[in-house]
Each structure stands twice: as structure tokens, then as C-alpha cells.
Structure 1
Amino acid sequence: MAKLYFYYASMNAGKSSTLLQAAFNYGERDMRVSLWTAAIDDRPGFGAISSRIGLASDAHRFQADTDIAGRVLEEHEEAELACVLVDEAQFLTREQVWQLAGLADRHGIPVVCYGLRTDFQGELFPGSAALLGIADALVELKAVCHCGRKATMNLRVDASGKAVKQGAQTEIGGNDRYVALCRKHFTQALQ
């Protein structure tokens, strides 16, 4: 039976590289996968899933109104898919998460989502909240804080490296805008 998986972590835990490794492994067995990422990311490599260690692949792009299940099923009809891999899953809507669950439940296509659990204020993203609620399997990937403890939080910083306490939930950025920290150092940075 196909399942819906959610691999979650803070920034810099290797979510995208783990996804790309999974895609590579399927490809080595001549199995097709459907790759997806959020259209909101307009940094260099837009439309591609890319990792900090240099791995990259093109991908379908989803927005809040994208019928992911419909597009995956069209792709599946052309040639059987072994798996659907979704990067930046925190940007999925609740409805899209249920669409992905339907792909697993009704169509037997495994779906593996990768994303952040919480934003820079420690709040769940809507897509992450839905995945934490209904995924068949939850897997936490580990990042490391500068103190050596597990990093679970994403601190947003300004251009001078100072903590940002308020703002929109979604602001795209990499190491220039976010630092993965343990809860203790995250809390200290916000004081």
C-alpha cells in the first residue's frame, strides 16, 4: 500500500539533497518520479530543486491553486510513476496535502514530501500542519546548531545578521536570511 510521507526539519538539514538522492535512486532502477517544488521561490535556480551541496533537478512548480493530483495523474497515464517527490512542502495548501494523500490512497502512488515544520516565529506552516496531521509516516531530518545540539528552529536575520522578530510568514531566502538554531539559542537571539 502506498503511503504519504513527510520529511521535515529546520533549514540546512539536507531535505532537498535527500529528495534528489531518492529521485536518483528511482532513476537508477529505470523508475519514473514526478518532482514538485513551490513556485514562490524566485531565487537563482527557480523551478529547480537544488541543494546547498550542488545537486539540482528541474521540477514542476505548484502554486496555491495548482491541482497537483490532476497533473500527476495525467503524467501517470503517459507512463507509470513510481513516486511523487515534493520539495518545499510547507508551501502546500491543506487541500493540496489531501490531494497528495488521495494519490497514495486511491491510486497507489507513494508521495514523499520534504519541508520546514515551522517558520521564523516557531509557528507551523499550513502545509506542514496538514502533513503532520495526516501523513502515514513522519521523519525528522537533523540539522546542527552552532552549539552542537539539534537545530529545530529557523531564525530569520536581517542584512546585518540581527534577529528579525516580525514580518510575513513567507520570505524566501537561504543562509543570508535564515540560521538554523536549537530552541535555546533561538530564544536567546530573540531577546
Structure 2
Amino acid sequence: MASLHYKYAAMNSGKSTQLIQAHFNYRERGLSPYAMTPRIDNRAGEGLIRARVGLQLEVDSFGRDCDLFALIAERAARRPVDVFILDEAQFLTRDQVYQLARIVDELDIPVMAYGLKTDFRGELFEGAYYLLCLADKLEELKTICWCGNKAHMNARLGPEGVVREGDQIEIGGNERYVALCRRHYIEGRTRP
């Protein structure tokens, strides 16, 4: 029976590396994975998932208005889809998360979604909120703060240090965000 998986973590935890490895594992076993990423995150280029360790995967991209259920149902009618894998799942809408549940329940296709849980203010993203509500299996991937403790906060960086105000979505990588433990996030300390 298919399941909806949500693998979440702070930045720099290896989410993209695990996603690419999962995709490879399915292909290596002769199965047909299908992976996508939101169009909004085009740091590596549209339709490209790039891990910090150097791995990358070319995939299709989608917008906030895309009906993922209809897309996968149509694709599965033409060719096998053994698993649907999504990167940057925090950017999903509520409707899209419900569409993922329908893919699992009605098409019997497993879905593996990877993404952040919270933004730079420590608040849930829309996609993360509904995945936490609907996913059959939740897995927190771990990363560490500069102090060695578990990092689960995503701090946005500005010229004066940690930024506390602004739009929820601002695409960036290591130059703009750092994963911190709760203590150092609250203190605004990004290094020793």
C-alpha cells in the first residue's frame, strides 16, 4: 500500500542528497521514479535539483497553480510511475498537499516529499503545515549548529546579522541562510 512521506529538516541537512539517492535507487532497480521541484526555487536553474555535495538531478518543475493529481494521473496513464518525489515541498499549497494524498490513496503511487518545516521566523510554511497534518510517515533529517547541537531553525542573514522581519519566501542558499540551534537562533549568534 502506498504512503505519503514527508522528510523535513533545517537547511544543510542533506535533503536534496537523500532525494537524489532515492531517485537513483528506484532507477537502479528498474523502476520508474518521477521527480519535480517548484518553479519558484530556481537557484540551480529551473528544473534542476542540486545538492551541496555536488550531486544534481534534472527534473520537471511546477507552479502554485499546477494540479499535481491531474498531472500524475495523466502521466501514469501513459507510463509507469512507481514513486512521485518532490523537492522543496514547503512551497506547496494546501490544495497541492491534498492532491498528493489523492495520488497515494486513489492512484496507489507512493509520494516522497522533501522540504523545510519552518521559515526564518520559526513559523510553518503552508506546504509543511499540511504535510505534517496529512503525511502517513514523517521523518526529521538532522543537521547541526556551529556549536554542535541539533540545528532546527533557519536563520536569514542580513548585513546586520539575523533578520527577523520580511517576506516568508526569499530564495537563497548558504549566502542568505544558516541553520542554527534554538538557543543561537534566539540569541542571533551565527558563529562562535
TM-score by length of 1: 0.96
Question: 1:33 corresponds to which residue?
Answer: 33
1:163 matched to 2:162? The reply is yes
Q: Which amino acid aligns with 2:109?
A: I
Q: How far did residue 73 of structure 1 move?
A: 1.4
Q: Percent identity?
A: 49
| RMSD of aligned Cα (Å) | 1.1
Aligned length: 189
Query: Secondary structure of 2:5's match?
Result: strand
**Whole-Å separation in 1 of the counterparts to 2:160 and 2:50:** 24
Corresponding residue for 1:110? 110
Once superposed, which parts of structure 1, at least 4 consecutive aligned residues long, lie more than 3 Å away?
none
* Superposed displacement of residue 106, structure 1: 0.9
- Tell me if structure 1 keeps the 8 A contact 2:46–2:61: no
Which amino acid in structure 1 is aligned with residue 173 of structure 2? Answer: G
CA distance in 1, matches of 2:42, 2:131: 24
Deviation by residue 1:149-168 (Cα, 9 ceiling, x = unmatched): 1100000002x461111100
Matched, 1:183 2:190: no
The answer on whether the counterparts of 2:4 and 2:136 sit within 8 Å (CA) in structure 1 is: yes
Q: Structure 2 unaligned segments of length 5 or more: list them.
A: none
C-alpha separation in 1, matches of 2:175 and 2:74: 38
Pairwise CA distance, 1:75: 1.4
Once the two structures are superposed, the pairs formed by residues 38-57 of structure 1 within 5 Å of their partners are 38-57=38-57
SS in 2 for 1:75: helix
Closer/same/farther in 2, CA of residues 161 and 13 from structure 1, 3 Å limit: farther
The 3-state SS of whatever aligns with 1:37 is strand
Shift of 1:74: 1.5
Structure 2 length as normaliser, TM-score? 0.96
SS in 2 for 1:18: helix
Partners of 2:141 and 2:66 lie apart in 1 by: 27
